[in-house]
Structure 1
């Protein structure tokens, strides 16, 4: 299975641009909301952390059947050594 996500970006005038990437973010309420594949057809949706945060918040979207999905919230504690962490394709953040 490929880690590539196929994206369709649409402007306000309806013009569409098709592209692909392994990970993308949307800036929402001043925070980066990252979306990437998590394997087995699942999407991992995580919010970028700030200095005052004590946990990572990740949403895992799983396909269940036709027109059905499962959404699970996963909270992970931020450890002191995570300050030096650089996000990469294998970190699942």
Structure 2
């Protein structure tokens, strides 16, 4: 299976352009929302967090109809108190040392 995404970009007049890429981002509410395949047929969607951000972005996916979903971006205050039981948890994607 390939990691490439086949894209169809459409202008307001209906003109379509087909292209492909391995990863794409949409700037939405000032945040980069990245979309990519994981090589196993799944679509990964994530929001970049920058050093010093005071908020975390949460993506909420809700079904609207049989073939339609709503994706909502909500900002949540980041816990700046350090690593405690309710603070940041270091995971495999964490960039901290």
- Report TM bin, short chain: 0.5 to 0.7
Higher helix share: 1
Give the conservation status (yes or no) of the 8 Å contact 1:45–1:58: no
Higher strand share: 1
Instruction: Give the drift of 1:39.
Output: 2.5
Question: Structure 2: which 5+ residue stretches go unaligned?
Answer: 60-66, 68-88
The residue that corresponds to 2:29 in the other structure is 29
- The number of aligned residues is 69
Q: Kindly tell me: are residues 2 and 33 of structure 1, through their superposed partners in 2, closer, same or farther at Cα, counting changes over 3 Å? A: same
In 1, the alpha carbon distance for the partners of 2:6 and 2:58 equals 21
- The structure with the larger Rg is 2
Aligned-pair Cα RMSD in Å: 3.2
- State the Cα deviation string for residues 66-85 of structure 1 (Å, max 9, x = none): x6xxxxxxxx743424xxxx
In 2, the alpha carbon distance for the partners of 1:30 and 1:22 equals 22
Matches within 5 A, 1:1-93: 1-53=1-53, 77=90, 78-81=94-97
TM-score when scaled to structure 1?
0.58
